[in-house]
Amino acid sequence: MLEIQNVHAQAGDTPILKGLSLSVGAGEVHAIMGPNGSGKSTLAKVLAGHPDVEVTEGEVLYDGKNILELEPDERAREGLFLAFQYPVEIPGVSNSTLLREALNAVRAHRGDPELDAIDFLGLVKEKTALLDMDQSFLSRAVNEGFSGGEKKRNEVLQMQILEPRLGVLDETDSGLDIDALKVVAKGVNALRSPDRSFVVITHYQRLLDHIVPDFVHVLNEGRIVRSGGKELAHELEEKGYAWLEEQPAGA
Amino acid sequence: MPIATAPDTWLQSFGRLSEERTDPAWLSELRQQAMHSFITHGLPTTRHEDWMYTNLQPLAARNFQRARAVTTPAPGTLEGHHLDALSGPRIVFVNGHFDAQLTDLEALPEGVAVAPLEQMLRETPERMRSHIERLVEAGDHPFANLNTAFFEDGVVIRIGEGIEAPQPIQVVFVMKSWQNDVVEHPRLILLAEPNSRATVVERYEAQGPGDRFTNAATRVDVRAGARLEHIRLQREGSSSFHVGMTHVRQARDSSYENVVVSLGGSVSRHELELDLVEPGASCSLGGLYVLGGKEHVDNHTVVHHRVPHCTSEELYKGILGGRSRGAFTGRMVVHKDAQHTSSSQANHNLLLSDDAVADTRPQLEIYADDVQCAHGATIGQLDEEQAFYLRSRGLTPMAARNLLIHGFASEVLETVRDDEVRTLLERVLESRLNVDVT
Ligand SMILES: Nc1ncnc2c1ncn2[C@@H]1O[C@H](COP(=O)(O)OP(=O)(O)OP(=O)(O)O)[C@@H](O)[C@H]1O
Ligand SMILES: [Mg+2]
């Protein structure tokens, strides 16, 4: 479903990703861990098509198509979703307006008709209930004045409504209290299916207790330096990243 | 040196108007004086403080002819103007002349009077006199003079004492021309009697090709304890000239909520002047201007706090694309007796292109010492991160841009109290954004 092949990427003149490869099969959940500044969010930005990140080498194939040639909105309509590490606030634009426009854009691309107001409201009610969110969120401006945890929950709400085929979650667990973490994990797990995949970026094993990954990768200095099963996350939790210093990157 | 104004054209036109009309003597005389003053003084250049952002040369160069009444268009032909967007009573003028067929005053509530000024002048000229003379009292203003010399029709609206008008009252001026260079000079008189409540929507629209000039003057009286919401929507299109002035006088404990929406024009200027003359008056002034191409809008506002315990709040926002220019001047005068004044003013501009220009000029003159005044102004661009966020959710660049612009504008539109009016404004904003505001 997703093939990242030897991707080199830079922001401005700073090289950040230095030959990153990763293969994600349909229905799989891959966790990506790694120290601060190792390039995790940069990878997410490469996938979503952020204009600040330039890919200088390599390919990203999504269903066999090179998505680096697609605009960010085309990628989204093709079923890619990024839950941002730092979701922006958009004053004056209500959550429900964004959800409706986004959903209709994605539906139109799939050839589905626009949802009418009643069906839309029904859908949104169901999803906010699933995520334990108050209805009043819908009329508020996107992320404006939201607490850190509320912003993350809002990202998952959008993902629930857009039903992407590839979800990239960038530290969606950070800033969440224990209960919120469970709710968010529930929101993600409810979407898991044989044809939907996730890349879950996190620093903490505790998220992976709830969203159980098929694979865990360690990203360091722009490359995946170790991959393993879910037990790798436990090992990292215990040992930290000091061992990275002891062996040459890429070993 | 003022700008000369093709005096022959104006004088000829004035001569014909005088022959056609049967005005009371006081009005004929008033018109004569105004005409004389206009011809003598010409139009101000950009060296005049109040006109520094607007060059009137292109307007002065034209030979505008009086717009004539046209055979009434079938109602359907005014589609696209969203005349039906508001369900309440409406009075419509085509080329400055009352149009009985497009007017619908069926829903007019008891205690609210709406009538063409022409008719009022015929039937009760003396009662109109002080209202008409007021504009001239405000000072020697070239466009006020022009309006006084040439106005043929307009509207008189009176919300009776203690009356609450449940639906917005709509006044629509449609310029409908096939020939170039026609002008209308509508005059409006709004009276909100003590403790009344109403929403009045004043609209300027145009149809058909051709350049036109609207020179409107509105006089508003908000009496003690009255609350008036007054929306002014100007959208005659990019080849039009529009000059409007609104003078408002507010009595004790009255409240006036004004929103001015300008959707462009070759030259579009609006002057709003408020006089808070009794304690406890409060006003909220909103403005939104959306321009593209080579359009030019100049908003010039003045608030006089003359007595203690009044409040004013002002927020104007500009959305400027193409090579357009949007100017804002906000003069706030707190006179020396106006203790405990509270006033705020802000002007924010969003530039959509590198060639668009925003001018912003706060002018605070404070002669009292116990006051709270705040002001701020910004000029910025669309936020890249916000745009990316929206696109990452599947919105096309255009949809993302429009949503962000809408978000920027909403702070002003949200202040509109009447739901139907707010929806109308959102619709016209949307259709404006889909044209050429890039
Ligand atoms: N626009 C930029 N210009 C220069 N350097 C940048 C830019 N964006 C990111 N970087 C740098 O690239 C490196 C990787 O950043 P990235 O955000 O991908 O790290 P991360 O792994 O997500 O870290 P964290 O765990 O703290 O979220 C950092 O050193 C960061 O400072
Ligand atoms: Mg990060």
The answer, yes or no, to whether any atom of ligand 1 lies below 6 A from the CB of A41, is yes
A74-80: average pLDDT: 97
Q: How confident is the model at residue B76 (pLDDT cuts 50, 70, 90)?
A: low
Instruction: Kindly identify which residue of chain B lies nearest to residue A47, measuring between CA atoms.
Output: B392
Residue B75 has pLDDT above 70, yes or no: no
Asked whether the beta carbons of B392 and A164 are under 8 A apart, the reply is: no
Q: Which of B388, B404, B409 sits opposite A72 (nearest CB)?
A: B388
**Other Cβ atoms closer than 10 A to A66:** 12
A68 touches chain B (CB under 8 A): no
Structure confidence by residue, pLDDT tens digits, B345-402:
999 999 999 999 999 999 999 999 999 999 999 999 999 999 999 999 999 999 999 9
Share of chain B above pLDDT 70, in %: 95
**pLDDT in the model for residue B134:** 82
Give the domain CATH number at A125: 3.40.50.300
Structure confidence by residue, pLDDT tens digits, B132-154:
998 766 678 999 999 999 999 99
- Sequence-ordered list of residues with C-beta below 8 angstroms from that of A26, at least 6 positions apart, any chain: A1, A194, A195, A196, A197
Q: Which of A90, A101, A141 sits opposite B399 (nearest CB)?
A: A101
**What is the atom index within ligand 1 of the atom nearest the CA of A171?**
27
A251 falls within a domain: no
Cβ-based contacts of A88 with chain B (< 8 Å)? 383, 385-386, 389
A67 falls within a domain: yes
Residue type, B117: L
Asked whether the beta carbons of B265 and B290 are under 8 A apart, the reply is: no
Nearest to B35 by CA among B112, B143, B183: B143
Q: How confident is the model at residue A240 (pLDDT cuts 50, 70, 90)?
A: confident
B49-74: average pLDDT: 85
Q: Which of A50, A73, A90 sits opposite B407 (nearest CB)?
A: A90
Nearest to A60 by CA among A14, A18, A8, A10: A8
The answer, yes or no, to whether any atom of ligand 1 lies below 6 A from the CB of A70, is no
First and final CA of chain A: distance in angstroms? Answer: 26
Instruction: Kindly identify which residue of chain B lies nearest to residue A106, measuring between CA atoms.
Output: B394
Domain around A225:
2-246
**pLDDT in the model for residue B139:** 72
- The CA distance from A17 to A43, in Å, is 7
Q: How confident is the model at residue A94 (pLDDT cuts 50, 70, 90)?
A: very high
Kindly report the nearest CA distance between residue B416 and chain A, in angstroms. 15
C-beta atoms of B400 and A77 within 8 A:
no
- The CA distance from A210 to B394, in Å, is 29
Instruction: Note the helical H segments in A86-241.
Output: 95-110, 117-130, 148-162, 178-189, 205-210, 231-239
**Other Cβ atoms closer than 10 A to A225:** 20
Nearest to B345 by CA among B306, B385, B380, B317: B317
Structure confidence by residue, pLDDT tens digits, B252-302:
999 999 999 999 899 999 999 999 999 999 999 999 999 999 999 999 999
- The CA distance from A103 to A40, in Å, is 27
The answer, yes or no, to whether any atom of ligand 1 lies below 6 A from the CB of A12, is yes
**pLDDT in the model for residue B180:** 75
Cross-strand bridge partners of residue B330: B301, B362
Residue B80 has pLDDT above 70, yes or no: no
A89 falls within a domain: yes
The answer, yes or no, to whether any atom of ligand 1 lies below 6 A from the CB of A52, is yes
Name the residue with tokens 């009005």. Answer: B27
Phi first, then psi, for residue B319 (nearest 5°) are -120, 110
The answer, yes or no, to whether any atom of ligand 1 lies below 6 A from the CB of A33, is no
Cβ-based contacts of A98 with chain B (< 8 Å)? 390, 393, 403
Strands B112-116 and B154-159: antiparallel
State the distance from the centre of ligand 2 to the C-alpha of A87, rounded, in angstroms. Answer: 12
Residue B164 has pLDDT above 80, yes or no: yes
Residue B63 has pLDDT above 60, yes or no: yes
Structure confidence by residue, pLDDT tens digits, B330-341:
999 999 999 999
C-beta atoms of B404 and A141 within 8 A:
no
SS3 for A231?
A: helix
Q: What is the ipTM of this complex?
A: 0.96
Instruction: Kindly identify which residue of chain A lies nearest to residue B413, measuring between CA atoms.
Output: A92
The answer, yes or no, to whether any atom of ligand 1 lies below 6 A from the CB of A32, is no
B192 touches chain A (CB under 8 A): no
- The CA distance from B226 to B243, in Å, is 28
B398 touches chain A (CB under 8 A): no
Residues 351-390 of B with CB under 8 A from A: 383-386, 388-390
Structure confidence by residue, pLDDT tens digits, A145-176:
999 999 999 999 999 999 999 999 999 999 89
Cross-strand bridge partners of residue A224: A219
- The CA distance from A192 to B173, in Å, is 59
Name the residue with tokens 């009697």. Answer: B193
**pLDDT in the model for residue A251:** 41
State the distance from the centre of ligand 1 to the C-alpha of B136, rounded, in angstroms. Answer: 65
**pLDDT in the model for residue B68:** 84
Residue A250 has pLDDT above 50, yes or no: no
Residue B133 or B8, more confident: B133
Q: How confident is the model at residue B406 (pLDDT cuts 50, 70, 90)?
A: very high
A161 falls within a domain: yes
C-beta atoms of B395 and A162 within 8 A:
no
The domain tally of chain A equals 1
Pocket test for ligand 1, best of A33, A40, A217, A236 (most atoms within 8 A of CB): A40
A25 falls within a domain: yes
C-beta atoms of B397 and A73 within 8 A:
yes
A47 touches chain B (CB under 8 A): no
Name the residue with tokens 């002007």. Answer: B347
pTM of the predicted model as reported, rounded to 2 decimal places: 0.91
Q: Is the Cα torsion angle B411, B412, B418, B423 positive or negative in sign?
A: negative
**Other Cβ atoms closer than 10 A to B71:** 6
Q: What share of chain A is helix, strand, coil (3-state, %, to 5)?
A: 40, 30, 30
Name the residue with tokens 């797990």. Answer: A189
For ligand 1, atom 1, name the residue with the nearest CA.
A11
Q: Which of B393, B396, B410 sits opposite A92 (nearest CB)?
A: B410
